[in-house]
Amino acid sequence: MTAPSLLAALAPRRIVVFRALQLGDMLCAVPALRALRAAAPDAHIALIGLPWAHAFVERYASLIDELILFPGAVGFPEQAESNDGLPAFFARMRNRRFDLAIQLHGSGGVANDLLHRLGARADAGFVQPDEAPREGCFIDWPDALTEPERYLALMSALGAQAHDRRLTIPLTEVDLDEYTALCAYHGIEDERLVLVHPGSQLSSRRWPAERFAAVADHLAADGWQIAITGTAAEAPLTCSVLGAMSAPALHLAGATSLGGLAALVAHARLVICNDTGISHIAAAMATGSVVIACGSDTRRWAPLDHARHRVLADYPACRPCMFRDCPYGHPCALNISVERVVETAREQLARAPGAQPGAPGSLHQETVSLSYEDLHHAA
């Protein structure tokens, strides 16, 4: 007789998931969270995450019931590395008396140590090759799998089978209204819209800004409307791209919420970006992309649809990179040429549904009520 799965045996009513990471990381966990919710439809599921994840939990309210802010710890570089907040945090978590704690943060080690101190009835997660066995449902870190499939493997071990493996971002009426307002203000023409996103959290993951500018100029000359996207904090970087361009472009850095950005990506013909969160948004919205992957582990992070999403990468001996700033002259970035990105972008645009370029170098095909300053580098 087959033994029941941990989920079946435990029948948890209170589940906590530890994944205190950024947008792209969280999107890759959506299929696993979907499987968990299907297997435990009545459980209260809390996410231990970063402050920005309030927006994530609000958007995925059908999967996650609550965000618990992670105070940070040594060994977790996503925020200030300090253990000062951990004693009070662990005390609060133990008082919650969770039935099941799931470590979806990474390969194991210190993340498992942290998980155990939450005081749940049972733990689940991954263990590294040299890590001692853990009590609960722990599987070997599946290094050969893509990021979404890794977390689905753990769900399967727990007894939560996946019936939908897609990355998805549900759009709301508020998102679509935001997109409509953005179109009206900036004169967006979605049939020829190409998004250029030069940012990434780590400088070692960024292709040079002047190369993004050169690609944007080539595509603008082909008749595509160029929009530079990014967060408000990335405005110096996005402005440097605009400043290096000869053609006019829309400047949308800091102009959208997460949902507004997802709606913008959904209506664009192509996204050109580093291997960062927006590449996963493009995958979720089924919008074609060209991803210049500097330093990252492409086997782990590349979108699953290799035709719709073209990943361009070079593989020096130092890859995958563990550095915030490259100490070796950044060969994995510099070995990806502007010409290669332009050629790949043109191939993607040639097969993009509904794509229709306009006049060469034109920002707007139709008359819009924008000032001269808005029209030139779209401030």
260 and 120 in a common domain: no
Q: Which structure tokens are listed for 364?
A: 């707007």
Is residue 1 included in any domain, yes or no? no
Q: What is the DSSP string of 78-116?
A: TS----TTHHHHHHHHHHH--SEEEE-SSSSTHHHHHHH
Is residue 265 included in any domain, yes or no? yes
Kindly report the number of other CB atoms within 10 A of residue 369's CB atom. Answer: 8
- Give the model confidence (pLDDT) of 226-266 as tens digits: 999 999 999 999 999 999 999 999 999 999 999 999 999 99
User: Model-level pTM?
Assistant: 0.84
Mean predicted confidence (pLDDT) in 172-182: 96
149 and 70 in a common domain: yes
141 and 191 in a common domain: no
Quote the CA–CA distance of 34 and 5 in Å, as a whole number: 18
- Give the model confidence (pLDDT) of 87-133 as tens digits: 999 999 999 999 999 999 999 999 999 999 999 999 999 999 999 99
152 and 229 in a common domain: no
Q: Which structure tokens are listed for 21?
A: 């990471």
The structural domain count of the chain equals 2
142 and 208 in a common domain: no
317 and 356 in a common domain: yes
361 and 337 in a common domain: yes
Is residue 168 included in any domain, yes or no? no
94 and 22 in a common domain: yes
| Structural domain containing residue 122 | 6-158
Alpha helices in the chain (DSSP H): 6-10, 23-28, 30-39, 54-59, 86-96, 110-116, 147-158, 173-186, 209-221, 235-244, 258-267, 277-285, 298-301, 331-334, 338-350, 372-375
Q: Is 228 helix (H, G, I), strand (E, B) or coil?
A: strand
